[in-house]
Amino acid sequence: MEHIFRKGQEGAPTFLLLHGTGGDEKDLLPLAESLNADYNILSVRGEVSEGGMNRFFKRLGEGQYDVEDLNYRTQQLIEFIKEASEQYDFDLAEVIPVGFSNGSNIAISMMLDGAISFKKALLYAPLYPLEISSDHDFSDVTLLLSMGENDPIVPVEQSERLERIFTGLGADVKTVWVNSHELTPAGVYFGKEVLDK
């Protein structure tokens, strides 16, 4: 998979950067620098093309996921992260997904898979309309959900549903409401707060 790896301080956690639709592996590098410049960075480019725009999995329409492809791409990304951890010598237990939009959505899919136990995740503008079973235990997970009150892509009820689900699964959820489908200084500020927990 096309990616960028940047070594941080020895023993530092690793940001797994997952861009939004139409982005690439360079998009979230400034966000990672703002969150913590000492961390390792593994930034991945989605391998699906939708009208020439990079994505991490196929969809049938806005908010309509191709579940078969989502599951396939989730496994593919998990395997890539495991291989990268050996190649670049970083601790899988200290990987922190940082996703925006489509990147947040595949991050959620990986978290639900459980093959890698992510302890923290920063999810900006997520949308996950699929059913999530209640047998997941996220009691050792700390999450940022940065969601838009006037998001043209993600309805507020879907954002509130995701917050309820993660809280119900035991996660320590920090929710920040911003205006739209966006990354904001408030999102960075509260992202740092989650990282410091």
Catalytic residues: 101, 151, 181
Best CA proximity match to 146, nearest among 109, 106, 173: 173
Residue 188 DSSP class: H
Q: How many Å is the Cα radius of gyration of the chain?
A: 15
Hunting for tokens 């639900």 — which residue is that?
A: 112
64 contact partners, CB below 8 Å, separation of at least 6: none
State how far the alpha carbon of 8 is from the alpha carbons of 40, 50, 51, 71, 181, in Å. Answer: 4, 33, 35, 31, 29
H helices of the chain, in order, are: 29-35, 67-88, 102-113, 156-168, 185-195
